[in-house]
Amino acid sequence: MRAIRTSLTTALAGLLLAACATAPSGRSQLILVSDGDMDKLGASAFDQIKAGGKLANDPAKTRYVRCVADALVAVLPESARRQAWEVVLIADDTPNAFALPGGKVGVHTGLLKVATDQDQLAAVVGHELGHVISRHAAERVSQQFAADTALRVLDSATGGERRQLLGLLGVGAQAGVLLPFSRKHESEADVLGQRYMAQAGFRPEAAATLWENMIRASGGGRAPTWLSTHPDPQQRIASLRAAAPGLKPAYDQARAAGRKPNCR
Average pLDDT value for residue range 28-46 = 89
DSSP state of 220: S
Asked if 233 and 190 count as a contact pair (C-beta separation under 8 A), the reply is no
Burial class (CB in 10 A: 0-12, 13-18, 19+), 174: buried
Phi, psi of 176 (to 5 degrees): 85, 5
Burial class (CB in 10 A: 0-12, 13-18, 19+), 209: buried
Confidence of residue 229 (pLDDT cuts 50, 70, 90): low
CA atoms in the 13 A half-sphere facing the CB of 226: 17
Phi, psi of 114 (to 5 degrees): -105, -45
Say how far residue 115 (Cα) sits from the centre of its chain: 17
CA distances (Å), origin 1, targets 7, 146, 163, 215, 263: 10, 22, 37, 57, 64
Q: What is the pLDDT of residues 157-172, one digit of tens each?
A: 444 555 555 555 555 4
Residue 239: per-residue pLDDT: 95
Asked if 32 and 168 count as a contact pair (C-beta separation under 8 A), the reply is no
Q: What is the pLDDT of residues 179-210, one digit of tens each?
A: 456 778 889 999 999 999 999 999 999 999 99
pLDDT at 224 exceeding the cut of 60: no
Q: How far apart are CA 126 and CA 135, in angstroms?
A: 14
Average pLDDT value for residue range 248-263 = 98
Q: What percent of the chain has pLDDT over 90?
A: 53
Phi, psi of 89 (to 5 degrees): -105, 125
Residue 2: per-residue pLDDT: 43
pLDDT at 226 exceeding the cut of 60: no
Beta bridge partners, 108, equal 90
Confidence of residue 52 (pLDDT cuts 50, 70, 90): confident
The answer for residues whose C-beta is within 8 angstroms of residue 173's C-beta and 6 or more apart is 94, 96, 226
128 catalytically annotated: yes
Q: Which of 160, 187, 184, 183 is nearest to 172 (CA)?
A: 160
Q: Are strands 97-100 and 104-108 parallel, antiparallel or unpaired?
A: antiparallel
* 230/30: higher pLDDT: 30
Per annotation, catalytic residue among 128, 139, 186, 205: 128
Q: What is the pLDDT of residues 113-155, one digit of tens each?
A: 999 999 999 999 999 999 999 998 888 877 776 654 444 555 5
The answer for residues whose C-beta is within 8 angstroms of residue 73's C-beta and 6 or more apart is 80, 81, 85, 129
Q: How far apart are CA 49 and CA 99, in angstroms?
A: 12
